[in-house]
Amino acid sequence: MERFLWFPLEDLPFIVIVLMLVFTVHEFAHAYSAYKFGDDTAYKEGRVTLNPMVHLDLFGSILLLVAGFGWAKPVPVNTSKFKNRRLMSIIVSAVGPLSNLLMAFVGMLIFYILHETGLLYSASHGVYMALVHFFWYLIIINLLLFVFNFIPLPPLDGYRIVAELLPLRIRYKIEQNIHWAMIIFLLFVFIPPLRAVTLDPILSLQGPIFLGLINFFDGIFSPLNWYDIAMDFSGQNMLR
């Protein structure tokens, strides 16, 4: 079973909690921004909420556990209700992954505060390990989803952003063949050789972003020894 999952089986409780948080905030950001821009479609369907059960998608959640990334239920958006349809559509699409970046930032900020105040080390070893696992997954999964959702393939947010920037003629042709694009996307996910030369290099961008956040917070707080934290987390160096 553990080999079937992308994450260690013993970490499943942390993964589930983090998934509920990151997917909920991501979809709420879409729904709330669309509502503020004049589209009440998501609001009428009860999507302008932080209730995780409204946003979670079973297949997308399972895919993240198995393949390392996934998605939640797409928020319905009627772009014809926007005053500036193209600009507001791009913003509504972008705020989802940007919310993941913000959550990673806040998660690392809280972790550094726990380190700075000594609270991270004053509890029992079990509590310390729980905090390390929770915040590690909170930061890493949010950064993963931030990068992943900007990939310009349907059904991801990156595709919606690129589609709004394309000439209508080209966009129309893509929309006519969108089912093929989704099939290609799934092939990239489930065929390791294809994934190794397509998705994996893109997803690896989370590493430099992670290190950039570390450098930023190390300049504000007492530096954290992330090598030791990574060793505590998994028994091997996870900074790769």
Catalytic residues: 27
What are the Cα distances from residue 82, in Å, to 37, 39, 156, 172? Answer: 6, 7, 21, 20
Residue 199: alpha-carbon gap to chain centroid = 15
Q: Are 25 and 103 in contact (CB under 8 A)?
A: yes
Q: Are 104 and 213 in contact (CB under 8 A)?
A: yes
Q: Are 226 and 239 in contact (CB under 8 A)?
A: yes
Q: Which residues contact 106 (CB under 8 A, 6 or more apart)?
A: none
What is the three-state SS of 59-89?
HHHHHHHHHCCCCCCCCCCCHHHCCCHHHHH
- Specify the residue for token string 């997308």: 60
What are the Cα distances from residue 114, in Å, to 100, 119, 205, 218, 239? Answer: 21, 5, 27, 14, 21
For the record, the structure tokens of 35 come out as 């509502």
For the record, the structure tokens of 26 come out as 């991501």
